[in-house]
Amino acid sequence: MNHSPTETGGPAQPLRYLSKLEAAAIETELLKDYHFGKQQLIELWGHACAIGIVKAFPLSSLGKRQPTVLVVCGPDQNGCIGLVCARHLRMFEYAPTIFYPKRSSHSLHKDFMVQCERMDIPFLSYLPTEVQLINDAYNLVVDAVAGPETELADLGEPYGGILLTLKQLKIAVASLDVPSGWEAEGDNSDGITPEVLISLTAPKKCAAGFSGKHFLAGRFLPFDIQRKYELNLPEYSGTDCLVEL
């Protein structure tokens, strides 16, 4: 059966961008009604994010330089997704380093951190304050600080300083779901300007005007939920787990 947005034979409807409440409601339904596990979802998202980064920054595009990636993780779910992304990037022959300044005591967060440590992925104890140092040391930065469930302004320090550093970077930044400093509902005036955005499940309202390379990782989403929320998701090619919008 064809479950594409055009399955009724009519014209394709425009892609729906989610509010913060809608994104939370969909995740709640996945966990409670469809019996997805939290760890399962984070693994799906993190793996897809790593694939999106590989598509946007293939090893061949980095020339002879070591494919170094700095993954900056927040204390909540988006940070966990960043940890999973880093682990898969390591499997894809990139060289990730993680900065995770406020480590959660939640067992799930600890599990993802141990998995990275056992993959010999280094953790920084501080974010270098000299922007030039970051520019020299890394090919790109993955911004996994704050998702729609937690806005950066609510996190306190050191995330305010991290935002200032990310805004000054001269190298490419790839943001996971919601770029640092953006509000899920659409205000991005105080945020960074990533080159790549990887939206998770369905894009958030803040991404409606994004002009960079934009991927969507949501192929796992049950068809009933897609119809209920009228998401009008695009078709994915072959067995791809993400699609470029």
Model confidence pLDDT, tens digit, residues 172-193: 999 999 999 998 887 787 899 9
Q: Are 149 and 178 in contact (CB under 8 A)?
A: no
Model confidence pLDDT, tens digit, residues 123-157: 998 887 656 666 778 999 999 998 887 777 778 88
pLDDT at 227 over 60: yes
- What pLDDT shows up at residue 103? 84
Task: Give the pairing of strands 196-200 and 213-217.
Answer: parallel
- What pLDDT shows up at residue 12? 67
CATH T-level assignment (fold) for domain 20-58+65-244: Rossmann fold (3.40.50)
Q: Are 214 and 232 in contact (CB under 8 A)?
A: no
- What pLDDT shows up at residue 9? 44
Model confidence pLDDT, tens digit, residues 111-130: 999 999 999 999 998 887 65
Model confidence pLDDT, tens digit, residues 87-105: 999 999 999 999 999 888 8
pLDDT at 7 over 50: no
Model confidence pLDDT, tens digit, residues 162-176: 999 999 888 999 999
Residues 6 or more apart whose Cβ sits within 8 Å of residue 195 = 56, 172, 173, 174, 212, 213
Q: Which two tokens stand for residue 131?
A: 């922007």
pLDDT at 5 over 50: no
- What pLDDT shows up at residue 60? 85
* Distance linking the first and last C-alpha atoms of the chain: 24
> How long is the chain?
245
Model confidence pLDDT, tens digit, residues 197-208: 999 999 999 999
The radius of gyration of the chain from alpha carbons, rounded to an integer in Å, stands at 17
Model confidence pLDDT, tens digit, residues 23-80: 999 999 999 999 999 999 999 999 999 999 999 999 888 766 789 999 999 999 999 9
